[in-house]
A = this chain, B = another copy of it.
Amino acid sequence: MRKRVGVGIAGYGTVGRGAAEILTSHAAALAERAGIALEVAAVCRRRALPADEVPPGARCFQDWRALVACPQVGIVVETIGGTGDAGEVVRAALEAGKPVVTANKNLLAMHGDELFALAAERRLPMGFEAAVAGGVPVVRAITSAAAGDEILAVQGILNGTANYILGRMESAGLDFSAALAEAQHAGYAEADPTLDLNGVDARDKLAILARLAFGAGLDTGAIATVGIAGIGAVDVHYARKLGGVIRLLGSAERGAAGVHLSVRPWWVPQQSLLGRVQGVNNAVVLTGRRIGRQMFYGPGAGGGATGAAVVADLVDVAAAFAAGRLGGSTPPGFGSGPRLPLAPPPAAPWYLRLTVADHPGLLARAAGELAHQGINIDSVVQEPGMDKQRLSFVITTEPAAEAAVEAAEAAMNAHGDLLEPVLRLRMAEEQA
């Protein structure tokens, strides 16, 4: 008979249930892969769980301390989310000598250094594939690519909700709030979608990927982060006239002076790898000096996909268990090592959308501010026949430093001509 290891799942929501369902229904095949039988020994949720929702044979706790202490629990899965209880669960599990699998991007982005150092000190593995891009194994892929090559850039669509909303604005001509309402109705956006829309969810994932790719630490809070709430139907329209679409991208790019990190909306060509990603999918494009451009694509969230990633990590941890080898090592970029030197983005073309009540001289004044910063205009796009009282036009620039564009933008905003602040998109130069 095989050895067994009990799994304790702290936080029994969509992902926790997804993992439990796989562990229960897929048990024999998992035991074959791991060389050890994985069983759900306990679950824990703050509110009591109806008896028929507890996995067969498992205990159910309301206090996570009881789950971590439970002698039947050999590995702890953390799917609570956030940095409060979740962090305490992970610390307590490691201190109790139990390996951890977590799906918590926010916790790792904010406290990964400390938690991975603790895991290494206790010689315990900590799996975290599920923390980024659901079931798409980008953590393994980037770790592997960075081991054999020098990574130049990691760029991707890291939030499926935002991508769904942008896609519906494109395909159905909806405005932002109608697309959001539809996403909520379809179950693709939560009741409080703040972290999806303001870019913070994508920022946390980018922070993890950038650490793995470049092998150095960083301050997650210092990543420039702009969400999609300012994008209007008019921008989707103008983006298409320019041959492209709008995507919320997390981008980490290595340059001579350091690494640029940002989350912001981009204009990308319609036929580019990232421009073709539709719906709630995630996609990560990895550029390496030798490996060229690779893309990893798939559903970015959902209990099934993310639960599967949790289980894949459990199999790795359990296989190490079964072989009698634990000994966690800190993943590249986490711990007390060097920090990434941050740098501004490379010179890039920019899309600037100005919304005005039309009167003579407006374009001249905007163009003057750009000229004052030494920025060349590439094109001006204005749809004929718009309402003169609320007219939007777009200026695209030749490649320019962000600081110069910001200065020109600040000057335009200060004019008093504008009905709302300039909406700015970075434009991809190549087939990003």
The chain A residues found within 8 Å of chain B, CB to CB, are 18, 22, 26, 29-30, 32-35, 129, 134-137, 140-141, 144-150, 215, 273, 276, 288-299, 302, 304-305, 307-313, 315-316, 319, 323, 325, 327, 329, 332
CA–CA, A291 and B292, complex, Å: 26
Partner of A294, one of B135, B273, B329: B135
Closest beta carbon of chain B to A206's beta carbon, Å:
20
Could you tell me the distance between the alpha carbons of A309 and B305 in the complex, rounded to whole angstroms?
26
Partner among B32, B147, B315 whose Cβ is within 8 Å of the Cβ of A316: B147
Other-chain residue from B18, B292, B311, B319 in contact with A329 (beta carbon distance below 8 A): B319
Of all chain B residues, which has the CB nearest A293?
B298
Question: In whole angstroms, what is the CA distance A52 to B146 when docked?
Answer: 29
Q: A304: which B residues are within 8 A, CB to CB?
A: 149, 289-292
Knowing A135-B291, A296-B296, the reply to whether A144 touches B148 (Cβ < 8 A) is no
Nearest chain B residue, comparing its CB with the CB of A140: B140
- Residues of chain B within 8 A (CB-CB) of A308 are 145, 148-149, 288, 290-291
- Contact B291–A150 (Cβ < 8 Å): no
Chain B contacts of A136 at CB under 8 A? 291, 294
Q: List 5 A-B contacts (CB under 8 A).
A: A26-B149, A135-B149, A295-B298, A325-B325, A325-B327
Give Cα A144–Cα B127 distance, bound, in whole angstroms: 12
Shortest distance from the beta carbon of A304 to any chain B beta carbon, whole Å: 3
**In the complex, what distance in Å separates the CA atom of A26 from the CA atom of B147?**
10
- The distance from the CB of A175 to the nearest CB of chain B, in whole angstroms, is 27
Interface hub of A137, A146, A148, A291 (most chain B Cβ within 10 A)? A148
Given A308-B288, A308-B290, A141 and B215 contact (CB-CB distance below 8 Å): no
Q: Which of A35, A135, A144, A296 has the most B CB atoms < 10 Å from its CB?
A: A144
The residue in A292, A313, A316, A329 that gathers the most chain B C-beta atoms within 10 A of its C-beta is A292
Q: Which of B147, B293, B309 contacts A315 (CB 8 A)?
A: B147
For residue A152, give the distance in angstroms from its CB to the closest CB of chain B.
13
Closest chain-B Cβ to A240's Cβ sits at a distance in Å of 17
Q: Which residues of B contact A146 (CB under 8 A)?
A: 33
Beta-carbon contact of B298 and A297 below 8 Å: no
Q: Measured between C-beta atoms, what is the minimum distance from A329 to chain B in Å?
A: 7
Q: In the complex, given contacts A147-B315, A325-B327, what are 7 additional A-B residue pairs having Cβ atoms less than 8 angstroms apart? A: A32-B215, A140-B144, A141-B296, A290-B305, A295-B295, A295-B297, A295-B298
> A330: shortest Cβ distance to chain B, in Å?
10
Q: Is the CB of A135 within 8 A of B141?
A: no
Which chain B residue shows the least CB distance to A290? B304
- A145 to B29 Cα, complex, angstroms: 13
B129 and A135 contact, CB distance less than 8 A: no
**A137-B144, A144-B312 given; A33·B292 CB < 8 A:** no
- Do A299 and B305 contact each other (CB < 8 Å), given the known contacts A140-B141, A312-B144, A329-B35? no
User: Do A292 and B299 touch across chains, with their CB atoms under 8 A apart?
Assistant: yes
Q: How far is the CA of A22 from the CA of B309 in the complex (A)?
A: 31
Report whether A148 and B311 are in contact in the complex, using a CB–CB cutoff of 8 Å: yes
Partner of A137, one of B26, B32, B145: B145
Residue among A35, A312, A315, A327 having the largest count of chain B Cβ atoms under 10 Å: A312
Which residues in B have their C-beta under 8 angstroms from that of A26?
Answer: 149-150
- Residues in chain B near residue A297, CB distance under 8 A: 273, 294-297
